[in-house]
Structure 1
Amino acid sequence: MAINLKQVKRVFVAGHRGMVGSAIVRQLEKRDDVELVLRSRAQLDLTNQQAVREFFEKESIDQVYLAAAKVGGIHANNTYPADFIYENLMIECNIINTAHLCGVQKLMFLGSSCIYPKLAEQPMSEQALLTGTLEPTNEPYALAKIAGIKLCESYNRQHGRDYRSVMPTNLYGPHDNFHPENSHVIPALLRRFHEAKLRGDTEVIAWGSGTPKREFLHVDDMAAASIHVMELDKAIYDENTEPILSHINVGTGVDCTIRELTETVAKVIGFEGKVTWDTTKPDGAPRKLMNVQRLADLGWGYSYSLEDGLTNAYEWFLGNKETFRG
Structure 2
Amino acid sequence: MPRQFEERRTMTYSLQGKRIYVAGHKGMVGSAIVRRLADEGCEILTADRSVDLREQVAVREWYAANRPDVVVVAAAKVGGILANDTYPAEFLYDNLMIEANLIEGARQVGVEKLLFLGSSCIYPKMASQPITEDALLTGPLEPTNEWYAIAKIAGIKLCQSYRRQYGCDYISAMPTNLYGPGDNYDLNGSHVLPALIRKAHEAKLAGADSIEIWGTGTPRREFLHADDLADGCVFLLQTYSDDEHVNLGSGEDLPIAELAELVCDVVGFTGTITKDTSKPDGTPRKLMSGAKLAAMGWRPQIGLRDGIGNAYAEFLAGHVKQPAL
Residue 91 (structure 1) shift: 1.1
> Which residue number corresponds to residue 120 of structure 1?
127
Q: Structure 2: which amino acid aligns with 1:9?
A: K
Corresponding position of 1:58:
65
Aligned residue for 2:38? 29
Structure 2 length as normaliser, TM-score? 0.90
Which runs of structure 2 are paired with 1:289-304 in the superposition (5 Å)? 289-304=287-302
Deviation of the 1:75 alpha carbon: 2.5
2:47 match: 39
Q: Which runs of 5+ in 2 are unaligned?
A: 1-14
Instruction: Quickly say closer, same or farther: Cα 1:322–1:59, change in 2 above 3 A.
Output: farther
Contact 1:196–1:204, Cα closer than 8 Å, also in 2: yes
Cα 1:310–1:250 change in 2 (3 A) is same
3-state SS of paired residue (2:319) = coil
Given candidates 10, 21, 28, the residue that maps to 1:19 is 28
> Shift of residue 299 of structure 1?
0.8
| Residues 148 and 188 of structure 1: CA distance in aligned 2, closer, same or farther (over 3 Å) | same
TM superposition shift of 1:203: 2.5
Contact 2:92–2:147 (8 Å) recurs in 1: yes
- Cα deviation for residue 287 of structure 1 reads 1.3
Relative to structure 1, is the Cα distance of residues 143 and 204 closer, same or farther in structure 2, using a 3 angstrom cutoff? closer
Q: Is the 8 A contact 1:15 1:40 kept in 2?
A: no
> Contact 2:170–2:241 (CA<8 Å) still a contact in 1?
no
Task: Quote the sequence identity (%).
Answer: 57
Gaps of 5+ in 1: 1-5, 238-242
Conservation of the 8 A alpha-carbon contact between 1:211 and 1:257: yes
| 1:80-108 CA distance string (max 9 Å, x none) | 22222221111111111111111102000
Match for residue 240 of structure 1? none
Give yes or no for contact 1:62–1:106 (8 Å, CA) kept in 2: yes
1:250 aligns with 2:248: yes
Given candidates 18, 36, 52, the residue that maps to 1:9 is 18
- Give the aligned partner of residue 161 of structure 1: 168
State how far apart, in whole Å, the 2-side matches of 1:80 and 1:210 are.
25
| Residue identity opposite 2:47 in structure 1 | R
8 A contact 2:169–2:241 mirrored in 1: no
Is the contact between residue 212 and residue 284 of structure 1 (CA under 8 Å) also seen in structure 2?
yes
Please report how far the alpha carbon of residue 271 of structure 1 lies from its aligned counterpart in structure 2 after TM superposition.
Answer: 1.5
**Shift, 1:278, TM fit:** 4.2
Q: Call closer, same or farther: CA 1:50–1:85 in 2, change over 3 Å.
A: same
Superposed CA deviations along residues 25-79 of structure 1, whole A, max 9, x for unmatched, are 1111243x2111111322x111121221121111121100000011122232223
Note closer, same or farther for the CA distance 1:283–1:82 as it changes in structure 2 (3 Å cut): closer
Match of 1:3 in 2: none
Q: Report the Cα distance in structure 1 between the residues aligned to 2:17 and 2:48, rounded to whole angstroms.
A: 23
SS at match of 1:320: helix
How big is the alpha-carbon RMSD for the aligned residues of Structure 1 and Structure 2?
Answer: 1.7
Q: What is the identity, as a one-letter code, of the residue corresponding to 2:117?
A: L
CA distance in structure 2 between the partners assigned to 1:293 and 1:190 by the alignment? 30
1:228-287 deviation per Cα after TM superposition (whole angstroms, max 9, x unaligned):
10110xx254xxxxx4xx200010111111122111111111112233344454433321
In structure 2, give the amino acid aligned to 1:70.
K
Give the drift of 1:319: 0.4
Q: Secondary structure at the match of 1:12?
A: strand
**Contact kept? 1:17, 1:40, Cα under 8 Å:** no
Find the partner of 2:200 among 193, 197, 203. Answer: 193
Change (3 A) 1:141 1:277: closer
In the alignment, structure 1 residue 81 sits paired with structure 2 residue 88:
yes
- Partners in 2 of 1:7 and 1:314 — Cα distance? 34
